Amino acid sequence: MEAAAELAIQATGLTKRFAATVALDGVDLTVPAGTIYGFLGPNGAGKTTTLRILATLLRADSGTARVLGHDVAREPDAVRARISLAGQSAALDEDLTARENLRVLGRLIGHHSRASRSRAQELLDAFGLADAADRPVKTWSGGMRRRLDLAASLIATPELLFLDEPTSGLDPSSRAQVWDTVRALAEAGTTVLLTTQYLDEADRLAARIAVIDHGTVIAEGTPGDLKAATGAGQLHVQLAAPEQAPQAAAALRRVLDLPVRPGTDPGSLSVAGPAADQAALAVAHLHRNSIPVAAFALARPSLDEVFLALTTRAADDSADPAKEPVV
């Protein structure tokens, strides 16, 4: 639907091998410009390797990648002039203060001394780090370091920001702060490629998600697409009288013809996979049989469930030479 110029990233068939390990086994990735794109996978799936290739830090063994219209292998400088990198694979000078870190990077981006100084102050104020600005970074908390790392990647506003697991190891409020910063950036027009192993992070931030496992992309789409592809959700029922659980379970099983599991609360039951209209009939059936219902909910599958379903399928598919080396 869009011309090639509207693509921030277009990668085809990327492979990368480290000694005996196949890190990437043909990664294809298409990221439209101006969105937050989630790149999701377990540890060691190939997320960081892909990101390092796209950010010109690594060369792929084969395959091609264009970032903002430039080939990463043949025109790395053109790519470098337009991207930034932050997250676990980027880093700060721990011995230096925050201000010194930002000023050094400001000079390296091309600002003159005074501009790098004022930009450092601007970012320190914007990220709420001004009070600690003149303390060495090694004395900082993890959340503050991550915010400084993000600030350092914004000294010049990038067209494309690579964020490698930006919230791993952060407490919930620090995570939410990083999330809002990322959203604000995307609203201002920066494309963000975000790798994460947290599904709720991808779900909350990303317009589209690619799921990677064992060095290949196993699913791609909007969070809604991915959930729909994995099937229906869960029916949760909370009974008014917990002692009626056995009759209620039997009644639900009769209508839905699906296994019924007890929930963690007494008198709560859940059924995986019913269609919405069937679930409605089942709840009505409880009512007709004088089993009062205190609450019920039909949940769509969480991305966690989607992810587990996808990766389990891939693991069952034992035709994966990277995963199971034949000795």
- Of 93, 102, 91, 95, nearest to 127 by C-alpha is 102
Question: Is 154 one of the binding residues for another protein (CB under 8 A)?
Answer: yes
Inter-residue contact 46 to 24 (CB < 8 Å): yes
* Interface size with another protein, residues (CB under 8 A): 75
Q: Which is nearer to another protein, 95 or 324 (CB)?
A: 95
Q: Binder to another protein among 44, 71, 110, 229 (CB under 8 A)?
A: 110
Q: Which amino acid is at 293?
A: V
Question: Is 111 one of the binding residues for another protein (CB under 8 A)?
Answer: yes
Which residues in 213-272 contact another protein (CB under 8 A)? 223, 227
Instruction: Count the helices and strands in the chain (H runs, E runs).
Output: 11, 14
The window from 35-43, 145-153, 239-247, 284-292 that contacts another protein (CB under 8 A) reads 145-153
* Least distance between another protein and beta carbon 103 (Å): 9
Question: Is 90 one of the binding residues for another protein (CB under 8 A)?
Answer: yes
- Of 56, 55, 62, nearest to 23 by C-alpha is 62
- Of 253, 254, 242, 232, nearest to 291 by C-alpha is 242
Q: Binder to another protein among 1, 4, 43, 77 (CB under 8 A)?
A: 77
Which residues in 193-212 contact another protein (CB under 8 A)? 200, 203-204
Residue 188 DSSP label: T
**DSSP H or E segment with residue 150:** helix 142-152
Report residue 270 as tokens: 């859940």
Question: Is 295 one of the binding residues for another protein (CB under 8 A)?
Answer: yes
Question: Is 184 one of the binding residues for another protein (CB under 8 A)?
Answer: yes
Question: Is 155 one of the binding residues for another protein (CB under 8 A)?
Answer: yes
Q: Which is nearer to another protein, 93 or 220 (CB)?
A: 93
* Least distance between another protein and beta carbon 100 (Å): 5
Question: Is 95 one of the binding residues for another protein (CB under 8 A)?
Answer: yes
Q: Rounded to whole angstroms, what are the CA distances from 109 to 4, 55, 81, 115?
A: 28, 16, 9, 11
Report residue 254 as tokens: 């009769």
* Least distance between another protein and beta carbon 27 (Å): 17
